[in-house]
Amino acid sequence: MSVFCDVGQAVPVAVFKLTQDFNNDQDPNKVNLGVGAYRTDEGKPWVLPVVKKVEKVIAHDDRLNHEYLPILGLPEFRSSASKIALGEDSPAVQENRVGAVQCLGGTGALKIGAEFLRRFHNGSNNTKTPVYVSSPTWENHNAVFASAGFEDVRSYKYWDAENRGLDLAGFLGDLETCPAHSIFVLHACAHNPTGTDPTQEQWMKIAEVMMRRRLFVFFDSAYQGFASGSLEKDAWAIRYFVSMGFEMFCAQSFSKNFGLYNERVGNLTIVARDPDNLKRVLSQMEKIVRTTWSNPPSQGARLVAITLTTPALFEDWKGNVKTMADRVLLMRAQLQAKLEALGTPGAWDHITQQIGMFSFTGLNPKQVEYMVKERHVYLMASGRINMCGLTTKNIDYVAESIHQTVTSVQ
């Protein structure tokens, strides 16, 4: 008898199951609009030219070795990554009250931040502090905070399906009525999966309530630069909150904007009131990291650090990021234009109004099923599509598929 005979079979992660089904599909017209990774117009993964360049520099630099990084990670990575989010001239950085933990992608940054908050926020080991995630949100948010020990993970109103936009009133209402000290996970830009971000004015309203009600700000920033093509623009909300005096966490991912998905490059930026508080926070972060992965992997962090701190490479990188962002914007514009040209029922402005990698098409589950089964166009059950999956070669087929679906299935 196995000691594991009572272990249940876990359901696969939806987005990876979708890609698996896509891979098994033989249809010549199949399109994968599921998993969130950038694709070129040839439908291929893209290793950024600047990344290829810096990898070669690293491989040939005989001064480098493989000795353990510090527990909190590569110092030059941590500081340059935080500066990217907060701005070179950030007063908080100058006041020495910004620190960071190099983490395993955005997921790792969320995990370490969550483990810290569960231990030290709102009392000690207060597993009852509510954690609010947007409705909808990235499918893993809930589980990361739950596995960190939080027992009460709830949703805040976000997506207004009827108006296909932000439900600001609902959002603000949840901020006003939630328990004090609740933690809110905010998407810094390019909201996943809706692609719908608050405007600057809306962010100001959100911040005002959060400050007054003492709610904890935990930004998830996975698309900086990728959303609008501008690093500054995509970091506006983070920087605004910092300027308003919040102490906060920001989980940064360099998976998308560096195309370094599999090297797990992330950074948990911490903004504290002063250096003394920061120091104590970082010392506890070390304890948490030590029992999770001990110290982080070097390759991706070295790559990002060298790129961010070398002016010529930094310019190269910004250009590569803009290339990706521009292609997405082009696909948005073209998809909307084609749907309008086809006379597809419904309004399709949201495709160009939404921002970042994803679009919440508004297709319902039955329509999604039709798209997948009849048209071999793979998208998430929520109606989310990855714009990067669109190319000049498949965009007509996808537009026609949406048209057919919307007219056949209600």
Partner 1 sequence: MSLFSEVPQAPPVAVFKLTADFREDSHPQKVNLGVGAYRTDECQPWVLPVVKKVERLIVEDASLNHEYLPILGLPEFRSASSKVALGDDSPAIKENRVGAVQALGGTGALRIGGEFLRRWYNGTNNTATPIYVSAPTWENHNAVFADAGFKDIRPYHYWDGAKKGLDLSGLLDDLEKAPEGSVFVLHACAHNPTGTDPTQDEWKQIAEVMKRRKLFVFFDSAYQGFASGSLDKDAWAIRYFVSEGFELFVAQSFSKNFGLYNERVGNLTVVAQDNENLTRILSQMEKIVRTTWSNPPSQGARIVSKTLNCPELFTEWKGNVKTMADRVLLMRDQLRAKLLALGTPGTWDHITQQIGMFSFTGLNPKQVEYMIKEKHVYLMASGRINMCGLTSKNIDYVAQSIHDTVTSIQ
- The set of catalytic residues is 138, 220, 256
Q: Residue 360 pairs with which residues in a beta bridge? A: 384
Min separation Cβ 107 and partner 1, Å: 4
CA separation for the pair 50, 4 (Å, rounded)? 47
Residue 55 is classified by DSSP as H
Left, alpha or beta for 72 (phi > 0: left; psi -120 to 50: alpha)? alpha
CA separation for the pair 74, 72 (Å, rounded)? 7
CB nearer to partner 1: give 186 or 363.
186
Q: Which two tokens stand for residue 248?
A: 């906060």
Q: Residue 378 pairs with which residues in a beta bridge? A: 32
Min separation Cβ 69 and partner 1, Å: 5
Cα separation values, 302 from 24, 58, 197, 255, Å: 37, 8, 31, 14
Residue 31 · residue 374 · CB < 8 Å? no
Q: Residue 59 pairs with which residues in a beta bridge? A: none
Q: Strand pairing of 183-187 and 165-166? A: unpaired
Q: Residue 271 pairs with which residues in a beta bridge? A: 98, 248
**E-strand stretches of 288-364:** 358-360
Min separation Cβ 60 and partner 1, Å: 8
Q: Strand pairing of 31-32 and 377-378? A: parallel
Q: Strand pairing of 248-253 and 31-32? A: unpaired
Q: Which two tokens stand for residue 273?
A: 């009131």
CA separation for the pair 86, 238 (Å, rounded)? 7
Residue 190 · residue 223 · CB < 8 Å? yes
